[in-house]
């Protein structure tokens, strides 16, 4: 305490500038990621927003509480108990147009809406049937190849090519399996975004106080900064929840669902690997903490600090 104040203040300023720039860049790249999700993983976007009925000029939910009674896309329950939307913002994020059409969960399951190329979106049931056709065509192609039957192989390859875009749907048993965990994805997304906004505000305040006030005397700010440390980890984990839960049931979008991507590793192998990494990273953590404490106790070099 009360040592090397000049050095500490300089370190805080550098850290705050780096933090602010990083938070702003995260917001910028997040916008780009949102657009990519809308184009390639529309069901994830719909789950992130608790968005069931597609529309033009769709609003982005700023604050909302999901209805816990909502279980399936077609159960007739209102998805929200309450919500406050930013008008047209979801369309702007997803389509870069204020009046762009954004499909909801119901649209993605039932199909029938117009795609950008002018064609009509298939329903989930149609995709499942075409997926089964693709799987059957692949099996037929392999059998024909093994039997040196070129004619059948060519025909099977043709059928496979026509339906391969829906290959993964052939493993889906129920259309409701195509909908990820909406509450988990919805709330995790908001935790991530709200913390991102908090970090921007936090670093702006820290920079203002560091340059205009005596930050060393503001104990309340010291506590705020200390309590902010775990929020970075929380934001990161919330982001992973959105990414990994929101993409369900896909390991590879539209091509390979997770139930078909399960490896044949035995439990013992997984447990062994887990505990090796657990021990390794625990040792590294202890070593890092020891080095940090030693460096803190020694303090910075230089008499003018």
What gap in Å lies between CA 134 and CA 178, rounded to an integer?
18
Token duo for residue 247: 């993409």
**Is residue 172 within 8 Å of 178, Cβ to Cβ?**
yes
Token duo for residue 179: 């909908």
**Is residue 266 within 8 Å of 67, Cβ to Cβ?**
no
Which H or E element spans position 66? strand 60-66
What gap in Å lies between CA 257 and CA 176, rounded to an integer?
14
**Is residue 66 within 8 Å of 80, Cβ to Cβ?**
yes
**Is residue 206 within 8 Å of 225, Cβ to Cβ?**
yes
Residue in the structure block whose two tokens are 């037929």: 140
In the chain, % of residues over pLDDT 70:
97
The predicted pLDDT at position 134 comes to: 96
Burial class of residue 49 in the structure, from the number of CB atoms within 10 Å of its CB (0-12 exposed, 13-18 middle, 19+ buried): buried
The predicted pLDDT at position 1 comes to: 59
Residue environment code for 149-187, b if the CB has 16+ CB neighbours within 10 A, otherwise e: eeeebeebbebbeebbebbbbbbbeebeebbbebbebbb
The predicted pLDDT at position 266 comes to: 84
Higher-pLDDT residue of 217, 186: 186
Token duo for residue 146: 């093994």
Q: What is the DSSP letter of 120?
A: B
> Could you give the count of Cα atoms lying within 13 Å of 60 in the half-sphere of its Cβ?
18
The predicted pLDDT at position 20 comes to: 95
- Arithmetic mean of pLDDT, 28-54: 94
304 — pLDDT class (breaks 50, 70, 90): low
Tens of pLDDT, residues 243-265: 999 999 999 999 999 988 888 88
In the chain, % of residues over pLDDT 90:
81
Whether the per-residue pLDDT at 303 is higher than 60: the answer is no
Token duo for residue 249: 């049931």
Tens of pLDDT, residues 47-104: 999 999 999 999 999 999 999 999 999 998 999 999 999 999 999 999 999 999 999 9
- Arithmetic mean of pLDDT, 131-141: 95
**Is residue 112 within 8 Å of 163, Cβ to Cβ?**
no
Tens of pLDDT, residues 202-242: 999 999 999 988 888 888 999 999 999 999 999 999 999 99
Token duo for residue 240: 């992973």
What average pLDDT does the chain have? 92
* Strand 80-86, strand 60-66: pairing: antiparallel
The predicted pLDDT at position 302 comes to: 60
2 — pLDDT class (breaks 50, 70, 90): low
Paired residues of 63 in beta bridges: 84
pTM of this prediction?
Answer: 0.85
Burial class of residue 35 in the structure, from the number of CB atoms within 10 Å of its CB (0-12 exposed, 13-18 middle, 19+ buried): middle
What gap in Å lies between CA 216 and CA 129, rounded to an integer?
67
Residue in the structure block whose two tokens are 């980890």: 233
Cis peptide before 153, with omega less than 30 degrees from 0?
no
> Could you give the count of Cα atoms lying within 13 Å of 222 in the half-sphere of its Cβ?
9
């Amino acid at each position: 305490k009360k040592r090397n104040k000049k050095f500490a203040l300089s370190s805080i300023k550098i850290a705050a500038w780096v933090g602010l720039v990083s938070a702003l860049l995260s917001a910028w790249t997040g916008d780009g990621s949102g657009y990519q999700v809308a184009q390639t993983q529309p069901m994830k976007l719909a789950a992130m927003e608790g968005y069931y009925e597609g529309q033009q000029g769709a609003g982005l939910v700023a604050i909302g509480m999901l209805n816990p009674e909502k279980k399936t896309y077609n159960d007739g329950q209102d998805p929200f108990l309450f919500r406050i939307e930013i008008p047209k913002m979801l369309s702007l994020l997803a389509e870069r147009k204020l009046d762009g059409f954004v499909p909801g969960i119901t649209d993605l399951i039932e199909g029938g809406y117009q795609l950008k190329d002018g064609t009509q979106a298939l329903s989930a049931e149609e995709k499942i049937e075409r997926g089964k056709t693709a799987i059957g065509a692949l099996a037929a192609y392999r059998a024909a190849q093994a039997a040196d039957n070129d004619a059948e192989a060519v025909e099977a390859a043709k059928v496979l090519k026509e339906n391969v875009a829906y290959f993964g749907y052939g493993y889906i048993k129920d259309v409701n399996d195509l909908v990820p965990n909406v509450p988990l994805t919805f709330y995790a997304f908001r935790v991530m975004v709200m913390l991102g906004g908090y970090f921007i505000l936090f670093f702006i305040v820290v920079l203002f106080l560091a340059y205009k006030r005596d930050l060393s005397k503001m104990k309340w700010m010291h506590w705020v900064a200390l309590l902010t440390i775990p929020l970075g980890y929380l934001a990161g984990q919330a982001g992973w929840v959105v990414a990994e839960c929101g993409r369900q049931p896909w390991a590879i979008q539209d091509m390979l669902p997770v139930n078909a991507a399960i490896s044949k590793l035995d439990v013992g192998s997984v447990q062994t690997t887990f505990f090796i990494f657990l021990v390794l990273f625990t040792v590294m953590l202890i070593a890092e903490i020891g080095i940090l404490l030693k460096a803190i106790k020694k303090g910075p070099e230089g008499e003018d600090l």
